[in-house]
Amino acid sequence: MSNAFFQIPEIKNEPVLSYAPGSPEKAAVKKAIAGLKKKQIDIPMVIGGKRVRTKKKVKIRPPHELSHELGTFSKGDKSHVEAAVKAALKAKPEWEAMSWEDRASIFLKAADLLSGPFRARMNAATMLCQSKNIFQAEIDSVAEYCDFLRFNAKFAEEIYAQQPPVNPKAIWNRLEYRALEGFVFAISPFNFTSIAGNLSCAPALMGNTCVWKPAESQIYSAIVIMDLLEAAGLPPGVINLIYVDGPVAGNYIFNHKDFAGLHFTGSTGVFQNLWGTIGKNISNYRSYPRIVGETGGKDFVIAHKSADAKEVATALVRGAFEYQGQKCSAASRAYIPKSLWKKVQKYMLDDLKTIKMGSPEDFTNFVNAVIDERSFDKITNYIHQAKEDPKADIIAGGNSDKSEGYFIEPTIIVAKDPKYRTMCEEIFGPVLTVHVYPDAKFEKTLELVDETSPYALTGAVFAKERTAVNIATEKLKNAAGNYYINDKPTGAVVGQQPFGGARGSGTNDKAGSVLNLYRWVSPRTIKENFNPPTDYRYPFLGEE
Ligand code: NAD
């Protein structure tokens, strides 16, 4: 146990570089993309610090350029899950015995490497792998990941400093923030490189060792995370990266007595299924596993008649269509008062006419491809249904093409029925559904916003009138874990807006905050008595 104190200086958010024409950062990332595209890499799993390859190779292609092969990854099986768990358990005693300052210094160094020599490579890999334009790659894989690494070190320091009162004369009380007993299983989604990194780094910072299973469509940038962490000095076995099908990993891990925690980000259905499995196996575990999950969203924007139409339109265009709407926080349903709609619609349609779609390698493209064929088919299915449904009008976009890459135009559906399917279900693509409501029914519409979907991740209200803001804030109290006033519902920044939702959107343990880190420790209270009693009798036993 080490509670010695070396204070981490004040942490600042990593600056987001501009990548303007002629900038050195733009030249560096262009060079990194060209370098990556020139060679085909064979990506190994990383188990106990060893690079593990198998004969089963899966091809990796950029979602926006299916004719190009970036390389392959080695698919693992049950034996790799077993090996990863073994390696995590083997590395655990030494890792948790290390002082927290030493652990933190590894992650702080990783942030500095990412901000410097790894920056261009991490951006390039994320752009090619997940089809992000440079701005989306930079705010995610560099800025947010640096912020997770640095702010979490500071939050860890805050946790370790929390100690019960001391009576130095007689009693010394201490809290020892032990790691969980066993290993943590981190399962990450495709859409944020930073989340993929944080899901194992956050528990690891607190002394845990992890098995990490990324989404297959993120493996090309996942290996850069492992290279970065190794370069920063992460010991072998602390984080073990495996590429296996979810159920293959789950069947072994959720039956293992040392399974101590799940750190998950992904869809609601998968998380509920995993929770059910853990519940069924509960008597097999050494401890009650910590279950932390950030899941789906159906994020709203509601405008009041006093709102500024241009501000609403800009928030919707950015909030709904940046990264092709593949953010858990993306605006996907909007409620606009009749008196404002004509203007909001015009501004949005004007904007959409100027938006270019294509490869992220062309920096003038705002919209790129969706992640894979499954997503493409799912999203376009919603659009085709809306085309045929008299209850829905498509007023922008609606076209798609998967011949060269998985491209779907930013699409706006207007739904007369506020419970129309695309107002309720998570689509996870560039599709925004708008419901136009009578100006006088603002409060009724707020109730509708609250009831319409099972999720409660992000949401925004736009209004100039303060009373309208206040009514919305109160009525929508449980409708969003991240709630915005006159701002788009995406783009939460670590250290500023801790992120997470409740209801069907997750356990709301707020990634990138001290709340999340508390889930990865199991405190032991230690009371030391400097003057132990030598007589069992209390004074009240005395005779009058
Ligand atoms: P997904 O649920 O399809 O996959 C997430 C991860 O779970 C992947 O690694 C996948 O391989 C794994 N998985 C799937 N089935 C499994 C099983 N049976 N056992 C073990 N693992 C299994 O999600 P996705 O498509 O990668 O990501 C998009 C989803 O993630 C959306 O629903 C989005 O809202 C959500 N998301 C939420 C947040 C948040 O902070 N709330 C952030 C990002 C993404």
Q: Which two tokens stand for residue 543?
A: 């005779």
Q: What pLDDT is attached to residue 386? A: 98
Query: Is the minimum distance from the CB of 212 to ligand 1 under 6 angstroms?
Result: no
Given 294, 322, 409, 426, which residue is catalytic?
294
Q: What pLDDT is attached to residue 17? A: 98
Q: What pLDDT is attached to residue 3? A: 46
pLDDT band at 170 (very low <50, low <70, confident <90, very high): confident
Q: Confirm whether 528 is a catalytic residue.
A: no
Measured CA to CA, the distance from residue 226 to residue 234 in angstroms comes to: 9
Task: Read off the pLDDT of residues 88-124 as tens digits, 9 standing for 90 and up.
Answer: 999 999 999 999 999 999 999 999 999 999 999 999 9
The average pLDDT across 269-278 equals 98
% residues pLDDT > 70 (the chain): 99
Name the residue at shortest CA distance from atom 17 of ligand 1: 246
Name the residue at shortest CA distance from atom 15 of ligand 1: 246
pLDDT band at 204 (very low <50, low <70, confident <90, very high): very high
| CA distances to 16, 135, 204 from 145, in Å | 12, 14, 15
Measured CA to CA, the distance from residue 341 to residue 516 in angstroms comes to: 40
Q: What pLDDT is attached to residue 8? A: 85
Q: Which residue has the tokens 């880190």?
A: 517
- The residue whose CB lies within 8 Å of the most ligand 1 atoms, and thus the one to mutate among 129, 264, 270, 322, is 270
The average pLDDT across 10-14 equals 95
Q: What pLDDT is attached to residue 357? A: 98
**4 has pLDDT over 80:** no
Query: Is the minimum distance from the CB of 327 to ligand 1 under 6 angstroms?
Result: no
- CA of 56 relative to ligand 1 center, distance in Å: 23
Count other C-beta atoms under 10 Å from residue 123's C-beta.
30
Count other C-beta atoms under 10 Å from residue 337's C-beta.
22
pLDDT band at 2 (very low <50, low <70, confident <90, very high): very low
Pairing of strands 183-187, 210-213: parallel
Q: What pLDDT is attached to residue 544? A: 83
Pairing of strands 259-265, 455-456: unpaired
The average pLDDT across 377-401 equals 98
The average pLDDT across 292-307 equals 98
Query: Is the minimum distance from the CB of 141 to ligand 1 under 6 angstroms?
Result: no
Q: Could you give all domains of the chain from N- to C-terminal order, each with its CATH number?
A: 24-295+506-527 (3.40.605.10), 299-485 (3.40.309.10)
pLDDT band at 275 (very low <50, low <70, confident <90, very high): very high
Q: Confirm whether 328 is a catalytic residue.
A: yes
- CA of 106 relative to ligand 1 center, distance in Å: 28
- CA of 294 relative to ligand 1 center, distance in Å: 9
Name the residue at shortest CA distance from atom 37 of ligand 1: 295
- The residue whose CB lies within 8 Å of the most ligand 1 atoms, and thus the one to mutate among 295, 324, 329, 505, is 295
Given 129, 210, 328, 424, which residue is catalytic?
328
**1 has pLDDT over 70:** no
Q: What pLDDT is attached to residue 6? A: 62
The average pLDDT across 437-453 equals 98
Q: What pLDDT is attached to residue 7? A: 81
- CA of 417 relative to ligand 1 center, distance in Å: 29
Task: Read off the pLDDT of residues 486-526 as tens digits, 9 standing for 90 and up.
Answer: 999 999 999 999 999 999 999 999 999 999 999 999 999 99
**DSSP letter string, 441-494:** GHHHHHHHHHHH-SEESEEEEE-SSHHHHHHHHHHTTTT-SEEEESS-S----T
Contact between 429 and 402 (Cβ < 8 Å): no
Query: Is the minimum distance from the CB of 186 to ligand 1 under 6 angstroms?
Result: no
Q: What pLDDT is attached to residue 9? A: 84
Query: Is the minimum distance from the CB of 486 to ligand 1 under 6 angstroms?
Result: no
| Average pLDDT score over the chain | 97
The average pLDDT across 32-52 equals 98
Contact between 95 and 207 (Cβ < 8 Å): yes
- CA of 383 relative to ligand 1 center, distance in Å: 23
Lowest mean pLDDT among 7-11, 30-34, 119-123: 7-11
Name the residue at shortest CA distance from atom 8 of ligand 1: 215
Measured CA to CA, the distance from residue 36 to residue 297 in angstroms comes to: 34
The average pLDDT across 386-408 equals 98
Query: Is the minimum distance from the CB of 502 to ligand 1 under 6 angstroms?
Result: no
Contact between 261 and 289 (Cβ < 8 Å): yes
Task: Read off the pLDDT of residues 311-359 as tens digits, 9 standing for 90 and up.
Answer: 999 999 999 999 999 999 999 999 999 999 999 999 999 999 999 999 9
What is the phi/psi pair of residue 347, to 5°? -60, -40
Task: Report which DSSP code applies to 237.
Answer: T
Q: How far apart are the first and last CA of the chain?
A: 49
